[in-house]
Chains A and B, each alone.
Chain A
Amino acid sequence: MRLTIRALVFLPFAAGLFGQVVAPTPNSVGPTRGDDWKNYNVVNSFETGYRFLSQSGNQNKYRSDENFGSGVRLLSSFIGLNSKDGHSALFDELVFSTQGLGGDPYESASLRVQKNRIYEYNLLWRKNDYFNPGLTTDGGQGQNLLDTTTTLQDNNLTLFPQSKIKIFLGYSRNTQDGAGISTFPSATSIGDFVPVFTDVRQIQNEYRLGGEVRWWGMTLNFLHGWQDFKDDSTGQVNHGASPYWQVALFRNARWIDLNGRFTYTGSQRGFLTNQNAVGTNQQVYTYGDARRPVATGNATVSLFPTSKLTIANHTSFYNIRTDGDSTYLQLNNSTGLANALYYQYLGIRTVANDTDFDYKIKNWFDVHGGYEYSNRRIAATSQFALAGTPDTVPYVQTNELNAGKVGFRARPISRLIVTVNAEFGRASRPFTPKSDSNYNVLTGRIEYKWKTLQLAAWSQADYNDNSVLLSDYNSHGRSYAGSGSWSPVKWFAFDASYSKLHLETLGGINFFAQNVLFANQVSYYLSNLHTGTLSARFSLRRFDFYLGYSRVQDTGDGRAIPTQLVIGPDLPAFRTAQTFPLLFQSPQARVSFRISERLRWNAGYQYFGYREDFFPSQNYLAHTGYTSLLWSF
């Protein structure tokens, strides 16, 4: 019995660190139960070690995809203090954990402190080294590069969390800093541009104040937030605020649940842009402000007339308006000519209502269904004068969506669950050729569980027929997936999964090439994406082993050379855009040796291999790994 207790105490941080990257180590040192200190039980863990990297091929692509480097790391840490009687002086629970500190591209730390009935505080801090070489696929030249660091933090404090009156306080901060290469379009010719080094500096601060009051079975929740955004990147100043409000009232009772919610956000941005093109003696100077108030309302009624039947009706409304003003001066410093620019108006108003039901016909069989009606009105004005009057009459369009849902869930035997869902939607006026128009989605799932064996299979067909020039189809997606896991004994576990996504899209396109109009052409894209994962864990005496393999392969349309014409414009660029076969695989292995009750040595290796069949300039290989010591009690 004691062993069970001690192992379970350790589980929170042992299992919480598992992922598809080789480090940190998810294994526990041993049966850890923590040490007692005053009125607390303390559980502690540190894993520190060295991460190594050997990489060849396209370094930019590797940094974009994985970005792990070499160096000493605090791979993970955890400390937890729990009050034994729930009556400690300052806090009854403190949990602090970190991951990847010391130079990993994905670093995080979280802290939770709470005192029963008095307060609960949560902090989540994250730092991401983001590298993007720009759009380099298919012969691209890699402009719009970003090499930045993003830092995110969320602080949330709840006062009196167990009382009928709660107070919420929150603060979030989101920054992005670093280097980038942007482009500045040339005034001399369309398509010419000048690369511009950009010092990226963006900061967002958000403050929240809210509360919750319960009385007579009703709960009133309200929240007021202030979001402040500042972008001082090279060549532009963009400051603004988005104050927002949310009020919600809800009640849960035996036969009926009610909830209503109203939100309003009043976003505003003031901006100033100043760009110079020395070669062409041009100066572009823009200033003004943009406003986008957003109001939403939601109301839900859930009825439970019998224990077997649930009916839920949801009505939603949202209204978005974008307006503002912009003054644009494109100065030719030789002639002094200038232009004024008018902003565009975009208003979206949507009202939607959906009703769902779920009825349990038998204990092992239930059916569910629903119907949704949505009405969207979009008003757009191409030019809106600075004085606030439109230069053109607003164009108004209305789209109506009718969608039906139906499905069932059956459990013919206790180990087997079969689920089938279907959704059919018809929209009268989609906004873009790719929008949902006549769509049909059919999903099925089978799950089988027997002792420690779990098998599942899943399939989905998602068709969207929104033809422009062709009458048959626009997008056909078919997905198939299967997974299995088996752990017959405590020292062995095996997991496997496979997924195939077949995506076939056909869209009508018109374009120019060398001043010749290519009309009534089609863009055809075919992808056959296979993904598989395998993992096995087993223990031998003091050793724990983990073997894993992940493989992603797009087999494309099976062609041998990239310029082979299948469907579409007879131009090399369009032929090569039709399919994009590639292989991305990552085997990994890890060994973990328990030195003592509190100490474990770990070593792991993970390989990343990326290969494009037709454009090898982006291919790379990377050998990564680590060795570490894990100390815990």
Chain B
Amino acid sequence: MFSQTPSGAFVGSTVCKTCHPDVWFRFYKNAHFKSVASEKEKPENTGCEGCHGPGEAHVKAHGGKATIRAFSLLSPKETSQACLRCHSESLARSNIHRSVHTRNDVGCAQCHSIHKAATPKFLLAKSEPELCYGCHTDIRAQFSMPFKHRVNEGFMACSDCHNPHGTSSPSWRMAARPAMVSQGQVNEEACLKCHSDKRGPFAFEHPPVRVEGCEICHSPHGSPNSRLLKRPVVFTMCLECHNGVGTFGRTGTGVPMLSPAHNMTDPRYQNCTNCHLRIHGSNADPLFLR
């Protein structure tokens, strides 16, 4: 299974602390200390040897990475296999083998640091969002925009919306391009966890919200435009769909275009949501007027 599979017997963590006191004396603050404190786990599932394998050969050789499972020598895939021996027993990680991270050879140790963690919870190597920005440079740029979700301010974290261990297919947008978005309330867009007033159901749904999801109009990370919209002005964004041509829309005859009463040279009509203010869905009006 591993390129390094140490042989010999288990010696117990108290032997390890003789040479590794810096690790051992702060290990009681580590989440993995639970396995030691329980005193009921088998030797292969607890303490240092639970991860690093039996230490007898390592002790006899007076150390050396070749005689123990040294994670610095393992490939990302092997590292993940070692961690998943225990940590696969979680629904949140049940899709890890098909996640984009795994597919790009991002193993557990790239984000988690077992002995030098920056956060006590989840043992992250850096705190969010710096950890994620380390690879996702383009996302750092998006959260620097004038309009943004408050990630850099520490109010939100990337993991509020994303599951870095992989997710099931989304229940919107053809179940495609999931971007590891974790689903709120078991089967809906993560946005609705906080924006609960947009959840509905509404007697009159704005169809693309349900069919395509919020990203059809919004840039969820950040945008130079008000309300994270994809366009600086509202009317062009609306008109690009509501042009009445093609086979688009709920009736296949094109998304309905505006009536002649909408004079687009008049500023009153250029902010569409001044009148169509229940644009995410309405219980009182099929045109979302109230």
Contact = CB atoms under 8 A, between A and B. Distances in A.
A141 B266 CA distance: 12
A456 B243 contact: no
Interface in A598-617: 610
B18 interface: no
Contacts of A52: none
Interface in A220-241: 221, 223, 225, 227, 229, 231, 238, 240
A135 B270 CA distance: 10
Interface stretch (B5-13, B51-59, B60-68, B229-237): B229-237
Nearest to A520: B245
29 contacts: A64-B147, A92-B37, A117-B38, A137-B233, A144-B274, A185-B289, A185-B290, A189-B261, A190-B275, A219-B91, A225-B185, A244-B185, A246-B187, A259-B95, A294-B171, A296-B187, A300-B95, A322-B200, A378-B250, A431-B208, A435-B216, A468-B245, A482-B137, A497-B140, A499-B140, A513-B265, A552-B146, A573-B264, A610-B146
A99 B154 contact: yes
B154 A108 contact: yes
Contacts of A176: 197
Given A314-B169, A460-B138, A137 B232 contact: yes
A509 B150 CA distance: 34
A275 B216 CA distance: 31
B177 interface: yes
A456 B240 contact: no
Given A185-B289, A433-B248, A510 B186 contact: no
A288 B75 CA distance: 59
Contacts of A508: 240, 243, 245
A406 B155 CA distance: 36
A263 B187 contact: yes
A397 B252 contact: yes
A429 interface: yes
B88 A252 contact: yes
A16 B187 contact: no
A455 B77 CA distance: 23
Contacts of A458: 137-138
Contacts of A257: 88, 94, 97
A511 B262 contact: yes
B112 interface: no
B184 to A, nearest CB: 10
B267 A139 contact: yes
B71 interface: no
B251 A395 contact: yes
A456 B140 CA distance: 13
B141 interface: yes
B199 A12 contact: no
Interface in B246-277: 246-252, 255, 257-271, 273-275, 277
A289 B143 CA distance: 38
Nearest to A78: B120
Contacts of A223: 186
A242 to B, nearest CB: 7
A432 B196 CA distance: 25
Interface in A11-33: 11-12, 15-21
Nearest 10 interchain pairs by C-beta: A86-B37, A292-B201, A499-B141, A531-B141, A507-B240, A352-B175, A316-B169, A380-B250, A286-B284, A106-B155
A182 B188 CA distance: 27
Nearest to A286: B284
Chain A interface residue count: which class? 35 or more
Contacts of B21: 1
Contact of A346 (B117, B173, B199, B207): B207
Interface stretch (A537-545, A577-585, A622-630): A577-585
A120 to B, nearest CB: 10
Contacts of A289: 203
B169 A366 contact: no
A238 B144 contact: no
A412 to B, nearest CB: 14
A395 to B, nearest CB: 5
Interface string A292-336: 101010101010000100101010101010101110100000000
Given A288-B203, A312-B97, A512 B260 contact: yes
B216 A254 contact: no
A461 interface: no
Given A302-B97, A554-B224, 19 more contacts: A64-B226, A136-B226, A229-B196, A238-B283, A257-B97, A352-B175, A372-B176, A380-B250, A407-B103, A409-B105, A431-B208, A432-B248, A435-B216, A436-B173, A499-B141, A509-B243, A515-B260, A574-B236, A580-B224
Nearest to A310: B97
Nearest to A384: B203
Contacts of B176: 352, 372, 374, 401, 403, 425, 436
Contacts of A178: none
B205 interface: yes
A254 B274 CA distance: 59
A5 interface: yes
A92 B117 CA distance: 19
A483 interface: yes
B231 A525 contact: yes
Chain B binding surface, main DSSP class: loop
A416 B174 CA distance: 36
Given A135-B273, A192-B268, A242-B199, A346 B205 contact: yes
Given A16-B118, A41-B29, A193 B274 contact: yes
A135 B226 contact: yes
Contact of B188 (A12, A294, A435, A447): A294
B153 A174 contact: no
Contacts of B273: 135, 144
A554 B145 CA distance: 10
Contacts of A515: 260, 263
Interface string A251-291: 01010010101010101110101010000000010101111
Nearest to B274: A143
Nearest to A431: B211
B178 to A, nearest CB: 10
B227 interface: yes
A344 interface: yes
Nearest to A138: B233
A86 B187 contact: no
Contacts of B42: none
B196 A552 contact: no
Nearest to B171: A318
Given A229-B196, A509-B239, A552-B224, A5 B22 contact: yes
A566 interface: no
B236 A523 contact: yes
B271 A202 contact: no
A322 B249 contact: no
Given A135-B227, A294-B187, A352-B175, A510 B245 contact: yes
A223 B268 CA distance: 48
A169 interface: no
Contacts of A325: 203
B204 A343 contact: yes
Contacts of B275: 183, 185, 190-191, 193
A291 B201 contact: yes
A481 B174 contact: no
B37 A481 contact: no
Interface in A492-512: 497, 499, 501, 505, 507-512
B19 interface: no
A65 B227 CA distance: 10
Given A20-B152, A231-B197, A434-B216, A190 B262 contact: yes
